[in-house]
Amino acid sequence: MGGENKGAAKPQAVSSLCLVFSVFLFSFPNSALAGNSSFSPPINYLIDCGSTNQTVLQDGRIFKSDHDSTSLLSTNEEVQASVDSVNLNVSSSLPPSSLPLYRTARIFSEKSTYTFHIPKTGPLWVRLYFFPLPHASYDLKSAVFSVQTDRIVLLHDFSVRNDSTLLFKEYLVNVSDSRFSLKFMPNENSFAFINAIEVVSAPDTLISDSATTVSTHGEFKGLSHYAFQISYRLNVGGPQIPPNEDTSSRNWEPDNPYNIFPDGTGDASVPAKSIKYPETGATPLIAPSSVYATAAQLKDAQVSEHNFNLSWRMNVESNYSYLIRMHFCDIVSKSLNQLYFNVYINEMEGVSDLDLSSETKALSTAFYKDFVLDASAITKGYITVQVGVDNLLQGTKNAILNGVEVMKMSNVANSLDGLFTVDGKYMGPSSITNVLKIVAAVGLGLAATAMLFIAMICIRWRKRPQGSDKGNNISSWLLPLSSAKCKSNLSSYKSSKSSGSRRSSKFGSRKSKNAISGYFTTNGIGRFFPFSELQQATKNFDENAVIGVGGFGKVYLGTLEDGTKVAIKRGNPSSEQGINEFTTELDMLSKLRHRHLVSLIGFCDEDPEMVLVYEYMANGPFRSHLYGSNLPHLSWKQRLEICIGAARGLHYLHTGAAQSIIHRDVKTTNILLDENFVAKVSDFGLSKAVEKAYVSTAVKGSFGYLDPEYYRSQQLTEKSDVYSFGVVLFEVLCARPVICPKLPREEVNLADWVMHQHQRGMLHTMIDPRIIDTINSESLKKYVEAAEKCLHDHGVDRPSIGDVLWNLEYALQLQESASQIHAPEDKSANCIDFRNPDDRKEDHSIASTSDGADLTDVTLFSQIANFQGR
């Protein structure tokens, strides 16, 4: 772990709400500050882990909470209720100057993954913030864990033992996939934590492929195949340059702590404006002009003695190679061809007679040089960088250095911490070879013992990676959570259910109903309602309170004593199907908790009444916002967000619970919208838990949405839901009923007709005319592509709902980025007040919490989504 970067976090005062606003209104995220030379990262994920609110730093950067980043990052939101997500409120134990990011943490007791969309491949900064906050049930100082990307091990068996140190780790990784994941893997019997994460694009030109090898002076090729950890980044001869003043949100430390003979060093500086960049070579993205505008040089007295090196020493970890980048800019000479000096790294000559004049052809012009220092050349645990007078040549006796960066390079195991690969394979000197050596030395007599030893090693060996992999694979989305608790309770419920003969009487035997209520009480999932309370809540089931009718009976809007509005489903005792659906729904909902599933508040089972009580969804069914009512129409972005929410709910059903669950009745009337237009999937009356790969069952579902394959074969799979969801997607795009008997025969069925029209290139004739002009064509393309795949005849050809979800999110990003490009005023003007009301409404639907997060969603979106605008 070394001493690298400790305490590199820079001081920040607490930002008050007032400050939040002023920062927001009058300054813009880092790129804007840097003016012309700015780089707006196409990927810019800033996450304050474990916080409930977004966090605005003084420099204007906004870190979103990982709870409400759901529009950007997919979440398995089951985690919200979990003990693993803990908000820590201990501002007292932190240095007052520390970044607010350190004030909350998220704790993982199992392997957990953050997954990010990567719209543009290339180099990425990955920045991690750690601080072991005190916590009642977790001693974060004792946490031991690993952190990995898909290919690179960033931290292995890592722990933060010192609770007076803020730890900041910065990496540069190359990403060539459209997804990037960051995995937190606790060691056995331990857990992991993280305070904040940045995943931000780095300029493509940042690292070129070649450098000079210090020990051989040869060329080192293939740098782009390495991952790097930033060990040091020094602005030599000048002050700290904080992230908001850098072109790529980097922090540059002052060099004093590393200067070995500071007495011999004089600082030089010029105004940053006077720094020029050459046509080829250094650019503002390599280092901002403020780095080149300051330098260390020899003090006059030392110059006259001619024999003095300026020297900096930085502790590093042995057994890694390092990329060392030195920045030069001749701001000390009066004219060209006066300054010649030597550059040494670990007492080896890096460059002799470096002549900046011939490199840059002008004074005050930026220049940098990359060196690779081989692991074998680091024998004492540090790197020394020196510049010194070249006594052989004429000119001024001086030497300068403007900046230096030291970056650890990934090793044979693709690791930046240890010799284990991401798969847990050990790449060091083989321990088995060692054992064999022992065998040879000790002789045959001990061979058997040694063999045993080998066997043990092998067994441990096998166990390790598998065990660490298994963890939890509920979903690839952000923050998966164990469903173990659910499972154990589920099985007990299952057994009690099968032992009680539920269908023997109208509502099942008393015994099974007791089992149900017992289940609820032990789990605290729902509340038991006395029937009288529900009578009161609905004014004795007043017909005027009816908001829907289902197979089992009617749904009423009720108001509980505390004023909470709820939807109350009252079973119809005369309907056998109703009872079945009723029990299925109770069964399903009691094990499912997800932000995008309508949740059950409680129930009542006073004979003969059986009533379910749900959260009330103020905006009703999605369909009524599409057609057939006078409600205002939804924008394309809102529709996308609702579809994404519904897809997430279905994805959770298919993959998130102990068993895969097939909804079987996906349609726009079963997608309900809450007061913020957050979509929730409802009506589990027909749902089936899948025990085996296929379930053969009587065909049920809704006409127009029904999977033709399921209809033919009666084999039910998750892909039937995917089909229905594909129909929903076209219904949303076209805003017409899926079956419309009044139309000419070939147009009656939406799914058939839309595919037909699409094949003829006539899709535009079908699109909802109210929004057609606002849909970005790329977004539309992606969306239609996804919808079309869902409607494949054969289930196997259809994507999983997870893939559909992914594509919808991508379509949303494309729409977002397009609106940023076409409406630049939205970006530069502040995003609160000058937008039209329609747009503002959309933002509310993004914000999943009511705490005003919509304010910043806009900016964050513009940063994240603006990947086309470069």
Ligand X SMILES: *[C@@H]1O[C@H](CO)[C@@H](O)[C@H](O)[C@H]1NC(C)=O
The residue ranges that bind ligand X (CB under 6 A) are 17, 36, 52-53, 89, 122, 162, 164-165, 174, 176, 204, 224-225, 307-309, 318-319, 344, 347, 386, 388, 429, 469-470, 473, 485, 488-489, 492, 522-523, 851-852
Tell me how far, at minimum, the Cβ of 474 lies from ligand X, in Å.
9
β-bridge partners, 823: none
In this complex, which beta carbon is closest to ligand X, that of residue 30 or of residue 635? 30
Query: Quick check: 409 and 321 in contact, CB under 8 A?
Result: yes
Write the burial class of residue 387 (CB in 10 Å: 0-12 exposed, 13-18 middle, 19+ buried): buried
Tell me how far, at minimum, the Cβ of 388 lies from ligand X, in Å.
4
Closest C-alpha among 340, 309, 345 to residue 324: 345
For residue 1, give the amino acid letter: M
In this complex, which beta carbon is closest to ligand X, that of residue 411 or of residue 820? 411
> How far, in Å, CA of 331 to CA of 256, rounded?
20
CA angle 173-179-181, nearest 5°? 65
> How far, in Å, CA of 731 to CA of 606, rounded?
41
> Where does 391-529 have alpha helices with state H?
431-442, 447-470, 484-499, 510-523
In this complex, which beta carbon is closest to ligand X, that of residue 14 or of residue 823? 14
> How far, in Å, CA of 181 to CA of 750, rounded?
38
Write the burial class of residue 18 (CB in 10 Å: 0-12 exposed, 13-18 middle, 19+ buried): exposed
Tell me how far, at minimum, the Cβ of 756 lies from ligand X, in Å.
34
In this complex, which beta carbon is closest to ligand X, that of residue 143 or of residue 775? 143
How many alpha carbons fall within 13 Å on the CB side of residue 202?
23
In this complex, which beta carbon is closest to ligand X, that of residue 313 or of residue 758? 313
Tell me how far, at minimum, the Cβ of 158 lies from ligand X, in Å.
15
Contacts of residue 384, Cβ cutoff 8 Å, sequence gap at least 6: 260, 311, 312, 313, 314, 344, 345, 346, 347
> How far, in Å, CA of 568 to CA of 573, rounded?
15
Closest C-alpha among 182, 213, 55 to residue 112: 182
For residue 160, give the amino acid letter: V
Query: Quick check: 655 and 597 in contact, CB under 8 A?
Result: no
Tell me how far, at minimum, the Cβ of 686 lies from ligand X, in Å.
25
Tell me how far, at minimum, the Cβ of 264 lies from ligand X, in Å.
10
In this complex, which beta carbon is closest to ligand X, that of residue 471 or of residue 701? 471
Tell me how far, at minimum, the Cβ of 222 lies from ligand X, in Å.
9
In this complex, which beta carbon is closest to ligand X, that of residue 554 or of residue 591? 591
In this complex, which beta carbon is closest to ligand X, that of residue 379 or of residue 696? 379
Q: Is residue 528 classed as helix, strand or coil in its secondary structure?
A: strand
In this complex, which beta carbon is closest to ligand X, that of residue 213 or of residue 489? 489
In this complex, which beta carbon is closest to ligand X, that of residue 122 or of residue 243? 122
In this complex, which beta carbon is closest to ligand X, that of residue 599 or of residue 800? 800
Contacts of residue 678, Cβ cutoff 8 Å, sequence gap at least 6: 595, 596, 645, 845, 848
Tell me how far, at minimum, the Cβ of 849 lies from ligand X, in Å.
8
Tell me how far, at minimum, the Cβ of 291 lies from ligand X, in Å.
17
Q: Residue 665 catalytic?
A: yes
Which of 255, 355, 665, 683 does the annotation list as catalytic?
Answer: 665
Tell me how far, at minimum, the Cβ of 224 lies from ligand X, in Å.
4
Tell me how far, at minimum, the Cβ of 170 lies from ligand X, in Å.
18
At residue 391, what are phi and psi to the nearest 5 degrees?
Answer: -70, -15
Tell me how far, at minimum, the Cβ of 174 lies from ligand X, in Å.
4
Closest C-alpha among 295, 24, 212 to residue 852: 24
Closest C-alpha among 706, 780, 718 to residue 750: 706
Residue-by-residue DSSP string for 791-853 = T-SSGGGSPPHHHHHHHHHHHHHHHHHHHHHH-HHHHHS-TTTSS-HHHHHHHHHH--SSSST
In this complex, which beta carbon is closest to ligand X, that of residue 482 or of residue 619? 482
- Long-range CB contacts (within 8 A, 24+) of 742-745: none
β-bridge partners, 547: none
Query: Quick check: 690 and 659 in contact, CB under 8 A?
Result: yes
Contacts of residue 607, Cβ cutoff 8 Å, sequence gap at least 6: 507, 510
CB atoms within 10 A of CB 296: 26
Query: Quick check: 600 and 534 in contact, CB under 8 A?
Result: no
Residue-by-residue DSSP string for 371-402 = EEE-GGG--SSEEEEEEEE-TTS-SBS--EE-
Closest C-alpha among 21, 86, 26 to residue 56: 21
Q: Which residues are catalytic?
A: 665
